[in-house]
Structure 1
Amino acid sequence: MTTPEDAIRARRRLTNKLIADHQALRLKPFFAPDIRLISGDGSLILGADAVVQAFAGQFADRDFVTYVRTPNAVEVDAQGHRAAEHGRWTAEWKGSEMAGSYLAVWRKSLGQWVLESELYVTIKHGPVV
């Protein structure tokens, strides 16, 4: 039997792959309809459609390469309905990169883990060294 932690880590790996493949529309099922995302620059994106549009905009940038989220920990509530994922993220464009910390909140909806909210904090921003 798959644990909630393993299921969430597997879903994160799949979102990383879809981002690397620049598949914005295929990301939508991973988001709760009312997702709230605070990006690394502090801007707020509300709703799954807006998050997918933001990804599509990034993917349209010819210099954009990928985002990768790497979980350090996944904590699940006692009822198994919500979870917190903590980790590091990186973003890469041709010649530059960004990185930082993130917190993602997952909730179980109709038997599947979806992202309820995400907070990204940019710690590093600059040319690839």
Structure 2
Amino acid sequence: MTTPQDAIAARRKLTNKLIAGKTAARLTPFFDPQVRLIAGDGSLLMGAAEVIAAFDGQFRDPNFIAYVRTGQSVELDSAGLRAAEQGRWVGSWKGAADQSGTYLAVWKKVIGQWVIESELYVTLDRGD
């Protein structure tokens, strides 16, 4: 049986792959429709449609390479239906230094599948 931690790690790995493949629409099932995301620059994105549109915009940038999120821990609530994933992220663009920082993602289990309820990204290194 797959543990929730392993399931979340697998979903995160797949989102990294989809981002590297620049396939925004395929990211939709990973987000709760009312997801809230605070990006590394402090901007707030509300709802899956807005998050997917932001990814799509970045994917259209010919210099964008990928975002890679590497989870360092996943902590479950007592019911096993919500989880907090903490880790590091790196954003890469052609001809520019990487940006990186830390992130916290809140996952929730919906009809047997883990989806992202909210995410907070903090940029700690802008590649300056």
Q: Structure 2-normalised TM-score?
A: 0.98
Q: Give 3-state SS (helix, strand or coil) of 1:36's partner.
A: strand
Return 5+ residue gaps in structure 1 as ranges: none
User: For 1:42-82, what per-residue CA distance to the aligned partner results, in whole angstroms no more than 9, with x for missing partners?
Assistant: 00000000000000000000000000000000011110110
Residue number in structure 2 paired with 1:47: 47
The CA distance in 2 between the partners of 1:8 and 1:126, in whole Å, is 29
What residue in structure 1 maps to residue 114 of structure 2? Answer: 113
Aligned counterparts of 1:117 and 1:95: Cα–Cα separation in 2: 31
Aligned CA-pair RMSD: 0.7
Which stretch of structure 1 is more off in the superposition, 80-89 or 90-99? 90-99
Q: State percent identity of aligned pairs.
A: 62
SS for the counterpart of 1:2 is: coil
Distance 1:2 1:99 in 2: 30
Which residue number in structure 2 is paired with residue 60 of structure 1?
60
Q: 1:102 aligned to 2:94?
A: no
1:75-86 pair list within 5 angstroms: 75-86=75-86
Could you list the structure 1 runs, at least 4 aligned residues long, displaced by more than 2 angstroms after superposition: none
Structure 1 position 31, deviation (Å): 0.1
In structure 1, what residue type is equivalent to 2:64?
A: F
Match of 2:89 in 1: 89
